[in-house]
Amino acid sequence: MENLLKQHETYKLKGYKLTTEDLFEWNTLLEAMLDLRVEMRSKLFEAKNDLENRKSTRRLVLKDEKDEAGKKKHTENTMDCLIGQEFQEEDQKYLVEKAKLELLENKISVIPEYIQLGKRFLPTM
């Protein structure tokens, strides 16, 4: 992903001095970024589902725990706190990956505009 983002910045710096070859490179970059977006979305969806399943399983285990008197050991708020602490690192990793996907989507969204501007300012032969 970092390589694609660096390419994006390099091409962007060329501004209006694009050539036909540059437009081809922009299109190639766009295709690569779109493929990466599909892959990242899929992985993010799977990671979110896996994390939610493990949190739900942990909640069920905590609900079943009883103290010495046979009463519930945890309240709903206590379970929320425990689960939040146990899965804090994984939640943060998920949020980082989600932010990376958003960055990629932002970069993808401007490429068609660059291509159109490049076509507009290409010298006609």
User: What is the pLDDT at residue 19?
Assistant: 73
Confidence of residue 59 (pLDDT cuts 50, 70, 90): very high
Distances (CA, A) of 106 to 22, 102, 124: 20, 6, 31
The pTM assigned to this predicted structure is 0.77
Residue 95 is predicted with a pLDDT of 96
Structure tokens at 47: 């990671």
Q: What is the pLDDT of residues 104-117, one digit of tens each?
A: 999 999 888 878 87
